[in-house]
Structure 1
């Protein structure tokens, strides 16, 4: 179950990262705080604000998920890392001073709830019943 989670999440993040570079899939940003990195700045699917750095983060997390899915321990580490990372991004996205990650990566508007949802799902797999079942099996 953990390995499937890492593979599916990895594939979704990889897809999101690739789509962030496709002009027809991203729309111009509107009412967005200014960024120091404007390359590929837009709204993915008209909802999620991205730029080139944000896309690279998605690609990296996607590749890490696919690599992590090769073993249960890798998938567990991936789930926990994603839960913590996206949990932190959720909190940062709530405050105007940090909702562009200091002008580098947009993490505001719809990104906040997407990051929160991503963190919660990853936390379920990384710290919840699937992780506890794996740890119980490892101790037996």
Structure 2
């Protein structure tokens, strides 16, 4: 039989991961809302030719919105455990830093820009990448050894 987790508030890392994931779900939904997404009539399934912009700033497509939704839903599931929350934040942060690099390397009008990205997306990916990575690495004191970071491994 599994032990129940102690009652009380969840560790900060889980709360932060759940909040970040919920924002991704919200952004994914808002990408399908006319008015919040300008140029909604130009919303394409994928590709750089999608003329829709979330909040008039971030270029989106149906695929882009679905990826936000999926990423957020996965994050909500992972945030239920400390290890999952760390994975979501740190792994997601590293992924967003890779997307930032990709966004600068890809030609805006090339078929490789299939999600699509614009300059506003790229700068947001940089901020998200560093923010999520820092949160995933710094918010929880345990390192998986059963102890705190200030207790050397092998010592009580």
Q: State the TM-score, normalized to the length of structure 2.
A: 0.75
5+ residue gaps, structure 2: 1-11, 41-45, 149-156
Greater RCO structure (CA 8 Å; 6+ sep): 1
* 3-state SS, counterpart of residue 94 of structure 1: helix
* Greater C-alpha Rg: 2
Q: What is the distance in 1 between the residues matched to 2:79 and 2:109?
A: 31
Query: 2:97 aligned with 1:87, yes or no?
Result: yes
Q: Give the TM-score taking structure 1 as reference length.
A: 0.82
1:114 to 1:101, Cα distance in 2 relative to 1, 3 A:
farther
In structure 2, the partner of 1:130 is 139
Instruction: Please state how far the C-alpha of 1:86 moved relative to its aligned partner.
Output: 0.5
1:85 offset after TM fit, Å?
A: 1.1
User: How many positions carry a matched residue from both structures?
Assistant: 132
How far residue 115 of structure 1 moved from its aligned partner, in angstroms, is 0.7
Tell me how large the CA RMSD over aligned residues is: 2.4
Residues 94 and 129 in structure 2, CA contact (< 8 A), matched pair in contact too: yes
Work out which of the residue numbers 125, 128, 131 in structure 2 matches 1:121. Answer: 131
Q: Which runs of 5+ in 1 are unaligned?
A: 30-34
Q: Which residue of 1 is the match for residue 34 of structure 2?
A: 23
More helix by share: 1
